[in-house]
Amino acid sequence: MDLLVQAFYLLHKKNPHINLYLLGDGEERQRIKELANNLGLTESVHLLGFVDRPTVLKMMKHSDVLVLCSKIEGNPRVLIEAMMCKIPIVATNVPGIRDIVQHKKTGFLVNHPKPEELAYAIEYVLKNERLSTAMVNRAYIFAKQNFSKESAKQKIHEDLASLLPKYQGTE
């Protein structure tokens, strides 16, 4: 999160009216709060802590971009949720994330996680509306085809049909 706060600082210098909302809780919270204070971002960085799923989705729908700058990820559900909410994604190019996000197709991946690179990517996505719109539309289709209830049901049925002949030709 310190990477994101530092990138936000660079963006905030250009546009002091922007805000950063950090959802989730953990041992880094106090350190992130101190970093935001030291950078003069007390009024613009909002550490919301743990929030329930409906609140996460509501906040996503009102966001301009979702940023996930992890060093390592498994299968980040938040990216799929952002895709389904048609929110542009900026994320680090690490395993788990790059399995879901394709650079400049379904989101924007940052190869070198430095504050300047992340700030550039966020600004690029926000300023390039045509690219951003195309990415969110492709991301939505990708998420719907691969992660919706219907697609999951279809994949399970196909797996069962390949293993058990009695499932072939049934719905």
We report the CATH number of the domain holding residue 76 as 3.40.50.2000
* Structural domain includes residue 79: yes
Quick one: 71 and 41 in the same domain? no
Quick one: 150 and 118 in the same domain? yes
Quick one: 123 and 156 in the same domain? yes
Residue spans of alpha helices (H) in 85-171: 115-127, 129-147, 149-163
DSSP code at position 110:
E
Quick one: 154 and 95 in the same domain? yes
Q: Count the neighbouring beta carbons within 10 Å of the beta carbon of residue 20.
A: 19
Quick one: 40 and 71 in the same domain? no
Cα distance between residue 94 and residue 45, in whole Å: 25
* Structural domain includes residue 146: yes
pLDDT in tens, 41-93: 999 999 999 999 899 999 999 999 999 998 888 888 999 999 999 999 999 99
Full residue range of the structural domain in which residue 102 is found: 67-171
User: So what's the pLDDT on residue 167?
Assistant: 56
Quick one: 120 and 161 in the same domain? yes
Quick one: 81 and 26 in the same domain? no
On the CB side of 155, how many CA atoms lie within 13 Å of its CA?
Answer: 8
* Structural domain includes residue 39: yes
- Give the containing element (helix H, strand E) for 21: strand 20-23
In sequence order, the β-bridge partners of residue 45 are 20
Quick one: 84 and 166 in the same domain? yes
pTM metric for this prediction? 0.84
Cα distance between residue 111 and residue 131, in whole Å: 19
pLDDT in tens, 5-25: 999 999 999 999 999 999 988
Are residues 59 and 23 in contact, defined by beta-carbon separation less than 8 angstroms? yes
The pair of structure tokens assigned to 58 is: 């509501």
pLDDT-based confidence at 152, cuts 50/70/90? low
Quick one: 71 and 36 in the same domain? no
Report residue 164: phi and psi, to 5°: -125, 110
